[in-house]
């Protein structure tokens, strides 16, 4: 089940009184596929949305639209609700739609619930991506004027919405997770908002864990490479002059490194018979490295 369908189900469960039914149906009608004073066609791939349209229309107009469905070649089901003739005329009168021009009536929205109206718009032409993949909510509006009005409406409630044309269709879209959260809450889907917020927290924690793991892996590689170089130097010194010729301090760190390739400098410092700091251990390894370099260059005299 998609996240969009979760939002639709939550919205539908909240449309439970006369004013909310009136406002929600207005959004569904105004943003439906076809809207004329003789024929109205509401289409959706969501059975939940189609059933709500059928129910709301019956409650508001005391008439039932013709509902049908058919399966496409790709296996998806398209649900259709049709309103004709006198019923379509009644819609235009009740919602004060002038001619066949679609426009949001600010007085109707002000009288009723703006959030529920926008919920109806979402049910008619909205969708939202699974937040585990990306943050994207959009409305595929039937006309350019409606897209512009909807974008303005969303801006007025503090939501950052943009418009574009995709394959000849007017799209109002929202990208930011916070704007999507605000929109879902506004249209009556607070539980889905919490789900999105939880997913965002999960993704943030997962990303931080990955960064820490990558950082740890890089640090481990760095420690191992440094240790291998130190062992190489120590073995050269042992072969040429013998570790017994080293001072007690150098011989002890050299032997610890030979026996513990995975030890950090700090761990070596803490393990010494007389513990020293990480920088102190690093200083001793630098002295061993200098000795090894001199031996590679054929140096006869080296500082022990």
Q: Inform me whether the pLDDT recorded for 87 exceeds 70.
A: yes
Give which of 289, 296, 302 is closest to 227, Cα–Cα.
289
Give the separation between CA 117 and CA 95, rounded to whole angstroms: 12
Q: Inform me whether the pLDDT recorded for 211 exceeds 90.
A: no
β-strand pairing of 77-84 with 66-71 = antiparallel
Q: What is the pLDDT of residue 270?
A: 92
- The structural domains of the chain, with segments of one domain joined by +, span 3-188, 217-296
Pick the CATH number of 3-188 from 3.40.50.300, 3.30.470.10, 3.10.28.10, 1.10.3470.10: 3.10.28.10
Contacts 24+ apart (CB under 8 A), 221-227: 223/262, 223/264, 224/261, 224/262, 227/257, 227/261, 227/262, 227/263
Q: What is the pLDDT of residue 299?
A: 59
Mean pLDDT of 273-289: 92
pLDDT tens, residue by residue, 165-181: 999 899 999 998 999 99
In sequence order, the β-bridge partners of residue 71 are 77
How many alpha carbons fall within 13 Å on the CB side of residue 47?
Answer: 7
pLDDT tens, residue by residue, 33-83: 999 999 999 999 999 999 999 999 999 999 999 999 999 888 889 999 999
pTM above 0.75, yes or no: no
- CA 30 from chain centre, in angstroms, equals 30
Q: Inform me whether the pLDDT recorded for 111 exceeds 70.
A: no
**Cα dist from 85 to 39, 91, 92, 99, whole Å:** 6, 10, 11, 14
């Amino acid at each position: 089940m998609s996240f969009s369908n979760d939002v639709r189900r939550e919205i539908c469960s909240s449309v439970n009184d006369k004013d909310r039914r009136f406002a929600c149906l207005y959004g569904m009608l105004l943003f439906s596929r076809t809207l004329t004073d003789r024929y109205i066609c509401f289409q959706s791939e969501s059975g939940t949305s189609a059933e709500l349209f059928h129910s709301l229309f019956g409650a508001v107009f005391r008439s039932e639209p013709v509902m049908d469905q058919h399966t496409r070649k790709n296996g998806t089901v398209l649900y259709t609700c049709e309103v004709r003739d006198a019923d379509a005329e009644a819609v235009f009168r009740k919602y004060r739609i002038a001619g066949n021009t679609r426009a949001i009536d600010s007085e109707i929205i002000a009288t009723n619930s703006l959030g529920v109206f926008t919920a109806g718009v979402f049910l008619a032409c909205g969708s939202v991506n699974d937040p585990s993949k990306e943050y994207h909510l959009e409305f595929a509006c039937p006309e350019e004027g409606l897209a512009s009005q909807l974008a303005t409406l969303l801006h007025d409630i503090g939501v950052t919405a943009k418009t574009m044309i995709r394959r000849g269709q007017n799209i109002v879209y929202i990208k930011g997770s916070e704007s999507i959260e605000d929109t879902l809450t506004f249209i009556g889907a607070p539980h889905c908002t919490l789900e999105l917020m939880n997913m965002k927290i999960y993704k943030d924690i997962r990303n931080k864990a990955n960064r820490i793991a990558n950082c740890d892996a890089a640090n481990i590689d760095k420690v191992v490479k440094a240790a291998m170089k130190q062992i190489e130097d120590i073995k050269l010194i042992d072969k040429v002059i013998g570790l017994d010729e080293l001072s007690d301090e150098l011989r002890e760190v050299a032997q610890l490194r030979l026996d513990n390739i995975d030890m950090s400098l700090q761990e070596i410092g803490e393990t010494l018979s007389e513990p020293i700091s990480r920088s102190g251990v690093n200083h001793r390894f630098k002295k061993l490295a200098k000795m090894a370099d001199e031996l590679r260059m054929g140096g006869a005299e080296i500082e022990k």
